[in-house]
């Protein structure tokens, strides 16, 4: 794919560590949806154009419900981003998905309710979302995982809850009964908006603990537990950065092949084009422009 640019969105811990991928130029874009989480840094990694964004902003100031997901994806699209590798800390709902390992999920259950979930408030647009993560990018991550010094699990369902509080024990057991693998707070509506923007998107999930379905050892107090979780975040973050580094050449190879993510809107716009206002056309030019000219 010509003019491919890779976006990298970091979650807990990874935002600060993304600087290890290289220094570059800061962009503070004005968007129709307000400011982004923070500056987007464009650089090159191994000759590949990359745009870096810390999801929670400098100093992790934004809780999951306050992340400006629409502004973030709009801005990345405006900068020419065609593919996104995202990461985020999660709780594990399965014994075999151990803290410090990595998971490349293939499904999502969306339980959020406070977040704007579409770019298309003023027209009817329906995109296919049966497979919420790009198969080409997931394959690139799987290929890159060979030889990584931790186990990388392929597949799994991510339950995205609103937060910012964690689950009750009953909720955690309910999510397990659904067959879900992970619980987190940030993948939605990020993944859906990426699809609306026709950007390929995949997630590297970082299990930090076993949520609350698995009782903690009685001898471990709360302070020690938090210390352990933060240690898990640090190690999993290092593993995720290494996986993303290794995945970049595979992403470039995948980008040479057509992907349905890149034409998600082709059959999704139901509103009569003549009824789309000039203001909407202006605001959504980076996303809808090619379909409204």
**Residue 209 annotated among the catalytic residues of the structure:** yes
Q: Consult the annotation and say whether 245 binds a ligand.
A: no
DSSP state of 259: -
Catalytic residue among 121, 211, 221, 272: 211
Residues 6+ apart with CB under 8 A from 147: none
Consecutive H or E run containing 160:
strand 157-160
**Residue 110 annotated among the catalytic residues of the structure:** no
Q: Consult the annotation and say whether 56 binds a ligand.
A: yes
Tell me how long the chain is.
293
Give the Cα separation of 190 and 176 in Å (integer): 23
Q: Consult the annotation and say whether 209 binds a ligand.
A: yes
Q: Consult the annotation and say whether 83 binds a ligand.
A: no
Q: How far is CA 23 from CA 59, 66, 172, 196, in A?
A: 18, 27, 40, 30
Catalytic residue among 122, 209, 221, 272: 209
Q: Consult the annotation and say whether 27 binds a ligand.
A: no
Give the Cα separation of 108 and 148 in Å (integer): 25
Q: Consult the annotation and say whether 55 binds a ligand.
A: yes
Of 265, 253, 146, 158, which Cα lies nearest the Cα of 202?
158
In this structure, are residues 6 and 85 in contact, taking their beta carbons and an 8 Å threshold?
Answer: yes
Binding residue ranges for substrate? 185, 209-211
Active site (catalytic) residues: 209, 211
Detail the residues annotated as belonging to a binding site for phosphate: 12, 55-56, 186
Binding residue numbers:
12, 55-56, 185-186, 209-211
């Amino acid at each position: 794919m010509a003019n491919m640019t890779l976006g990298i969105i970091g979650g807990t811990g990874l935002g600060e560590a993304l600087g290890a991928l290289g220094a570059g130029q800061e962009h503070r874009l004005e968007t129709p949806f307000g400011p982004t989480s923070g500056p987007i840094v464009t650089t090159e990694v191994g000759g590949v154009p990359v745009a870096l964004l810390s999801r929670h902003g400098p100093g992790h100031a934004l809780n999951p419900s306050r992340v400006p997901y629409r502004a973030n994806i709009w801005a990345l699209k405006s900068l020419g981003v065609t593919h996104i590798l995202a990461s985020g800390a999660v709780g594990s709902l399965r014994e075999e998905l151990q803290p410090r390992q990595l998971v490349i999920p293939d499904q999502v259950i969306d339980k959020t309710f406070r977040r704007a979930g579409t770019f298309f408030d003023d027209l009817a647009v329906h995109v296919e979302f049966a497979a919420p993560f790009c198969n080409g990018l997931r394959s690139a991550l799987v290929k890159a995982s060979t030889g990584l010094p931790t186990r990388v699990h392929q597949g799994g369902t991510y339950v995205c809850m609103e937060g910012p509080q964690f689950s009750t024990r009953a909720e955690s057991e309910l999510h397990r009964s659904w067959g879900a693998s992970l619980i987190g707070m940030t993948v939605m509506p990020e993944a859906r908006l990426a699809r609306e923007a026709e950007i390929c998107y995949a997630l590297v999930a970082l299990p930090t603990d076993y949520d609350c379905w698995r009782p903690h050892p009685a001898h471990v107090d709360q302070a020690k537990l938090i210390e352990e979780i933060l240690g898990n975040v640090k190690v999993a973050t290092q593993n995720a950065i290494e996986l993303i580094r290794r995945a970049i050449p595979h992403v470039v190879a995948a980008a040479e092949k057509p992907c349905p993510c890149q034409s998600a809107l082709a059959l999704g716009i139901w509103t009569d084009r003549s009824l789309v206002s000039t203001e909407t056309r202006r605001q959504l030019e980076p996303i809808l422009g090619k379909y409204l000219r």
